[in-house]
Amino acid sequence: MIAIYPGSFDPATLGHLDIITRASKITSRLIVAVLNNSAKKHPMFTVDERVRMLTEICGHLPNVQIESFSGLLVDFAEHLGANAVIRGLRAMTDFEAEMQMAQTNKTLNPNIETLFISTQAEYSFLSSSIVKEIAVLGGDISSMAPSPIIKKMHQKINGGTGGGEEKHGRTY
Ligand code: ADP
């Protein structure tokens, strides 16, 4: 199975890394696809930064490759020769939107299956937005994101060498 795992990954959390690691064990090739979504107004990281960070944290997984894409997911999947889309499921709140997306993609391309991997309990509350919010407020995110990503988030929050679209000032 060649699978694609799409998302915003702004930035990747330990929940994402867990899904990537587990999906890589059941696929011959896994493409983590960072969505280049111009509608998302204030990303913390540019798409290139997200690709670079994912490449760094997935370096130990030989069958995982990181790409970015815009446009229709099923077209990108077909272009890569992928026959499956992987999505993570946290809570029931994820379910409705994920089902809608899966059905839509199935209608657009019946050859591509969507497979759901359920989160591990310890990551079930994790989302990129929550991790960003806690980091901006100065909280401890060491159990939520891989350390290279925590470092980059702190650089970005402190106005360091991040270079993204949006500078986040320190908030008290
Ligand atoms: P999107 O903007 O497409 O929701 P995300 O980067 O937020 O992209 O998430 C990508 C995928 O990873 C989605 O399928 C999402 O449900 C899943 N995911 C996100 N966080 C977790 C987590 N903590 N555990 C399991 N899956 C997760």
What is the domain partition of the chain in residue ranges?
2-124
How far is the C-alpha of 172 from the C-alpha of 99, rounded, in Å? 39
Q: What is the pLDDT of residue 172?
A: 40
The domain defined by 2-124 folds into Rossmann fold (3.40.50)
Residue of the CA atom closest to atom 4 of ligand 1:
7
Ligand 1 is surrounded, with C-beta below 6 A, by: 7-9, 13, 15-16, 19, 87-88, 90, 94, 119, 123, 126-128
Rounded distance from Cα 126 to ligand 1 centre (Å):
9
Residue of the CA atom closest to atom 3 of ligand 1:
7
Confidence band, pLDDT 50/70/90 cuts, at residue 91: confident
Q: What is the pLDDT of residue 160?
A: 54
Task: Write the pLDDT tens digit of every residue in 34-46.
Answer: 999 777 678 999 9
Rounded distance from Cα 7 to ligand 1 centre (Å):
6
Q: Cα–Cα distances in Å, from 25 out to 28, 63, 88, 160? A: 8, 9, 15, 36
Which numbered atom of ligand 1 lies nearest the CA of 8?
6
Q: What is the pLDDT of residue 159?
A: 82
Give the three-class secondary structure for 125. coil
Task: Write the pLDDT tens digit of every residue in 93-141.
Answer: 889 999 999 999 999 999 999 999 999 999 999 999 999 999 999 999 9
